[in-house]
């Protein structure tokens, strides 16, 4: 299995909506890192799994979408706790690439969470 990884950093705000969230229940910001690990069974015509420039641009566009926003106010988080676990799934759902068999997404703040599935 071949693997390519791209990542980007950005800042966004959220507040947790779980019972007894402590200080995380108040609006606060996080420095996030989003990372995509793309996996596929073979390299393409030019011996690359993906066009890393295209995937980096896609990830940076996604980061631009969330930079300086309050995640709780966005439709993708409506009714959900906006922790990094949910955020990983939201990123996964927005990023696809037909040359890969599997995509792993990790979103990190002070901790880390991820989502992996076949695409």
State how far the alpha carbon of 52 is from the alpha carbons of 15, 22, 42, 119, in Å: 33, 40, 15, 18
Can you tell me the distance from the alpha carbon of 36 to that of 58, in angstroms, rounded to the nearest whole number?
Answer: 11
Query: pLDDT by residue for the chain (119 residues), tens digit each?
Result: 889 999 999 999 999 999 999 999 999 999 999 999 999 888 888 999 988 998 899 899 999 999 999 999 999 999 999 988 899 988 888 876 666 888 888 888 877 788 888 77
Quick check: 106 and 113 in contact, CB under 8 A?
A: yes
In this prediction, residue 97 carries a pLDDT of: 63
Domain ranges across the chain: 2-118
CATH code, 2-118: 3.30.479.10
């Amino acid at each position: 299995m071949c693997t390519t990884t791209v990542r980007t950093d950005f800042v966004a705000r959220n507040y947790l909506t779980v019972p007894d969230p402590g200080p995380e229940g108040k609006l606060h910001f996080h420095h996030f890192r989003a990372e995509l690990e793309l996996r596929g069974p073979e390299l393409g015509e030019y011996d690359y799994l993906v066009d890393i420039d295209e995937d980096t641009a896609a990830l940076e566009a996604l980061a631009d979408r969330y930079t300086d926003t309050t995640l709780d106010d966005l439709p993708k988080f409506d009714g959900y706790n906006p922790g990094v676990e949910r955020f990983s799934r939201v990123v996964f759902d927005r990023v696809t690439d037909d040359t890969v068999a599997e995509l792993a997404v990790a979103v990190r703040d002070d901790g880390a969470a991820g989502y992996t599935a076949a695409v």
